[in-house]
Amino acid sequence: MPDLPDPPAGSPVPAGGAATPAGGEAAGVAPSGAPAADPASRALADAPEAGAFAARNGWDRPFPAFDDFDLPLYVGSTTFQKLPLVADPAELQARGADVAIIGAPFDDAVSHRPGARLGPRAIRAANYTTGALNSLQLGVEPFAWLDVVDAGDVGIVPAWPERSHALIYRKVRDVASSGAIPIVLGGDHSITWPSATAVAEVRRPGRVGIVHFDAHADTANEDWGVLAGHGTPMRRLIESGAVLGRNFVQVGLRGYWPPVETFAWMKAQGMRWHLMREIEERGAEAVVADAIAEALDGGEAIYLSLDIDVIDPGMAPGTGTPEPGGLLTREVLRAIRQVVGAVELAGMDVVEVSPPYDHAEQTAMAAHRAVLEALSALAVRKSRGGVVRFEAARPAG
């Protein structure tokens, strides 16, 4: 905190402690209503000069001003870390930003608890530090190296999933086409279908691998007959040709879903997955290292999809389909540093944060830090002369 400047000479803090309210009893008002003759009088005229009370109470001191960027996160602008809002694709293109945060406040496709539509706003607000952040784990100030902006939310309306998915696809494509890395805040996991499709289309279909952290495979053919549920996006990505099955790697699966026939389909696509049991036995770091190699087996860059329910619900309860027995928050944050530090990141999403089921913002904070860990790892890459932006990007259109 900056030091307050010294108060001006003759600081008008009332002598003798608390001020007596003006006009109060025994305030020394002359019977005629004329100004009191006594210089110590606390009385004011009926129409005091502007600022008279400020001077009396000490509110005319030259207090410091702060940029919005440095103010607390609960004050002022509601963008991610109070970063500049750059929603216009042409402006984004001209600016040449490294990363753009996008909100996808959509949860019409959930199978159980709703609420993830409120995720982007909660994630953006879930921090107590602002300004020039300093990553202690990576020893880098992410915003000193990266130009990060907030591209705003997709203009979603409720109960129109086809429109929502189309608009998510368009906005992510606009951002990716500008060369900036899109980091999308969900929203339920169905948003990964349009989001990763857009990134793969800009980068080159079939050349983007996916590392997908989740308790669930999300590779069902349909949820109660619906093809675009939050249990189906990974199958749509592979079926449509946006992503190859052999470059699609899942980490953290556990629980009692999906059924055996779905795993048979996944195997037939060449997909690879790492159960929670394997992480328990080998440790997260070794498993994530394998996942990176598998996703890059033919891929050039990686799209990272983080379903917050990969974290144990004891640490991340604010989610729609909680599955006990998951990763620790610290393991997930380390895994993100590991992935982003090792590969070219093409895009990322953080999904399934449902604030109504959260406690003490712990799930929103985990999601927020997941984004910061990715940004910090990108900053390390750039500080070492590495590539962050996608320079071969084609113009939006």
Instruction: Tell me which residues touch Mn ion (CB under 5 A).
Output: 189, 214, 216, 218, 307
Closer CB to Mn ion, 307 or 344, in the complex: 307
CB of 381 to Mn ion, least distance (A): 27
Output 218 or 323, the one with its CB closest to Mn ion. 218
Task: Measure the CA–CA gap between 206 and 16, rounded to whole angstroms.
Answer: 77
**Distance of closest approach, residue 390 Cβ to Mn ion, in angstroms:** 25
Q: Rank residues 112 and 394 by Cβ distance to Mn ion and give the closer one.
A: 112
Smaller CB separation from Mn ion, 79 or 219: 219
Rounded Cα distance between 78 and 206, Å, is 36
Per-residue b or e along 15-41, where b marks 16 or more CB atoms closer than 10 Å to that residue's CB: eeeebeebeeeeeebeeeeeeeeeeee
Token reading at 212: 């997908």
* Residue nearer to Mn ion on the CB measure, 218 or 312: 218
Q: Which is nearer to Mn ion, 305 or 376 (CB)?
A: 305
Q: How far is the CB of 223 from Mn ion (least distance, A)?
A: 12
Shortest Cβ 317–Mn ion spacing (Å):
16
Say which amino acid occupies 290.
D
DSSP string for 9-31: SS--SPTTSSPPPTT-TTS---T
Partnered with residue 209 across adjacent β-strands are 302
Measured from the CB atom, is 203 or 230 closer to Mn ion? 230
Measure the CA dihedral 31/36/42/44, to 10°.
Answer: 80
The CA distance from 242 to 201, in Å, is 7
Burial of 224: CB neighbours in 10 Å, binned 0-12, 13-18, 19+: exposed
- What are the phi and psi torsion angles at 65 (to 5°)? -95, 155
Q: How far is the CB of 308 from Mn ion (least distance, A)?
A: 9
C-beta of 92: minimal distance to Mn ion in Å? 28
In sequence order, the 6+-apart residues with CB closer than 8 A to the CB of 20 are 14, 27, 42
| Least distance CB 337 / Mn ion (angstroms) | 21
For tokens 């052999």, the residue is 246
